[in-house]
Amino acid sequence: MTKQERAVRTRHSLIRSAAEAFQRHGYVQAKLAEISSSAGVSPGALHFHFENKAAVASTVEATAGVTLRRAARLAQHPGMNALQRLTNASHALADHLRRDVVARAGFQLSCDAARRTGLNLRQEWQGCVQQLLAEAADENLLAPHVAQSDMVTAIVAATTGFETLGRDNPEWLSHRSLTGFWRIVLPCLATAEALAGLEPGSTEPSLAGAEVLHR
């Protein structure tokens, strides 16, 4: 292994160790000494990669952001209608939050108003929901009585609530939980014609299959 490869591996170990510490203790109580020790490196090695705890936390946030955005994007295939894309994106995000400690910790850190880093993944998700519902309206998928602003509020509140509850009980972020949510919401949201072609459990086989792997 080259020196550069060792450095990359060390950095990845530190990011994961930091995510575990932030999730366990919160940003304020997490200690750099614990992060370096759990990663199996010296405090000096940690400071070689990160100037301070704020820099570590920012990297965890940024890494989570990249991972979650990529997951949501890959779950939305060209030609798929906007409501299915929204459903798929929510399943992809929940799956990553459930199984990836860096995604969980980064999402939590980015939504911490006390840190004010400028990155807020919860707001990004709200923007995604708003955009996809607007596209659904343009595609004539929404039932006539649906108020987009009310539906954005309901979907964002529920799905981010799953993330919060999932910190203590991963079942909230399970494929079954998200599927149950969409089974209730989609009939209130979509026209009868659109509803007939929607899959509340996501059209991504890997997401449904992940339920078995996580048990």
Q: What is the pLDDT of residue 139?
A: 97
Q: Are 211 and 176 in contact (CB under 8 A)?
A: yes
Instruction: Calculate mean pLDDT across residues 59-68.
Output: 95
Confidence of residue 169 (pLDDT cuts 50, 70, 90): very high
Q: What is the pLDDT of residue 212?
A: 40
Look up the domain containing 36 and give its range.
1-50
Q: What is the pLDDT of residue 215?
A: 36
Q: What is the pLDDT of residue 103?
A: 96
Q: What is the pLDDT of residue 12?
A: 95
Q: What is the pLDDT of residue 136?
A: 97
Confidence of residue 213 (pLDDT cuts 50, 70, 90): very low
Q: What is the pLDDT of residue 208?
A: 60
Instruction: Calculate mean pLDDT across residues 166-185.
Output: 96
Q: What is the pLDDT of residue 24?
A: 93
Residues 76 and 28 in one domain: no
Residues 11 and 39 in one domain: yes
Q: What is the CATH number of the domain that holds 19?
A: 1.10.10.60
Listed range (31-45, 104-118, 137-151) with the worst mean pLDDT: 104-118
Q: Are 63 and 102 in contact (CB under 8 A)?
A: yes
Q: What is the CATH number of the domain that holds 107?
A: 1.10.357.10
pLDDT exceeds cutoff 80 at 92: yes
Residues 112 and 143 in one domain: yes
Q: What is the DSSP string of 127-196?
A: HHHHHHHHHHHHTT-B-TT--HHHHHHHHHHHHHHHHHHHTT-GGGGSHHHHHHHHHHHHHHHB-HHHHT
Give dist(CA 106, CA 59) in Å, integer.
8
Residues 70 and 113 in one domain: yes
Residues 35 and 79 in one domain: no
pLDDT exceeds cutoff 60 at 150: yes
Give dist(CA 172, CA 164) in Å, integer.
9
User: What average pLDDT is seen over the chain?
Assistant: 92
Listed range (53-62, 72-81, 142-151, 206-215) with the worst mean pLDDT: 206-215
Number of domains in the chain: 2
pLDDT exceeds cutoff 60 at 209: no
pTM of the complete model: 0.89
> pLDDT for 98-132, tens place per residue?
999 999 999 999 887 667 677 889 999 999 999 99
